[in-house]
């Protein structure tokens, strides 16, 4: 009876092998070139690069990078079955049984985030072409027409015999 009890306790202790060995959270490295960008996740985290965030292994999210003078960039982070997580999950078949498999599936401990680290090279904002201020050009005044030609004014002619 005692051995059955210890086997049962050992089975429950080992249930969720990946959960025990890998944990339910993952540290994400967030980097940018140049450094100093603000990184915001769709999960509500925020930091200044370079930084490390701790997130649940089962969460997929996006990281948006912003920095004055640079274009905003967004990177999607997905989850995939990890090699170590698969080994822990397989260990459940041998030691933890269905309970361990269920625990690992529910907690996401068999998953890892891709990409990790999340890295971007910031692109400078394109500056508009330099333009000189426009000058108002006033039309040149029209030349005034010459006054009509007048006959030369002459003194009245003297009367004959005067």
Q: pLDDT tens digits, residue range 125-154?
A: 987 766 666 666 666 667 777 777 666 666
Q: How many domains does the chain have?
A: 1
Neighbouring C-beta atoms of residue 71, cutoff 10 Å: 12
User: In this structure, is residue 94 part of a structural domain?
Assistant: yes
132, part of any domain: no
Read off the pLDDT band of 81 (50, 70, 90). confident
Tell whether 152 is covered by a domain: no
Do 39 and 67 form a contact (C-beta atoms < 8 A)?
A: no
Residue 144 lies in a domain: no
Asked if residues 39 and 29 have their Cβ atoms less than 8 Å apart, the reply is: no
Within-domain flag for 86: yes
- Whether the pTM exceeds 0.75: the reply is no
Question: Whole domain around residue 15: which residue ranges?
Answer: 2-121
Entry field: residues in the chain: 162
Look at residue 23 and tell me if it is in a domain: yes
Assess if residue 76 is contained within a domain.
Answer: yes
């Amino acid at each position: 009876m005692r051995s059955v009890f210890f086997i049962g306790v050992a089975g429950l202790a080992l249930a969720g092998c990946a959960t025990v060995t890998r944990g339910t959270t993952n540290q994400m490295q967030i980097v940018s070139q140049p450094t100093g960008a603000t990184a915001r996740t769709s999960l509500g985290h925020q930091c200044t690069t370079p930084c490390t965030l701790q997130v649940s292994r089962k969460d997929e999210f996006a990281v948006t990078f912003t920095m004055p003078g640079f274009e905003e960039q967004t990177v999607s982070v997905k989850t995939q079955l990890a090699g170590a997580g698969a080994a822990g999950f397989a260990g459940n078949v041998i030691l933890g049984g269905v309970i361990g498999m269920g625990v690992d599936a529910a907690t996401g401990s068999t998953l890892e985030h891709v990409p990790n680290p999340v890295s971007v090279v910031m692109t400078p904002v394109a500056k508009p072409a330099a333009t000189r201020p426009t000058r108002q050009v006033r039309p040149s005044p029209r030349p005034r027409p010459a006054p009509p030609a007048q006959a030369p004014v002459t003194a009245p002619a003297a009367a004959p015999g005067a």
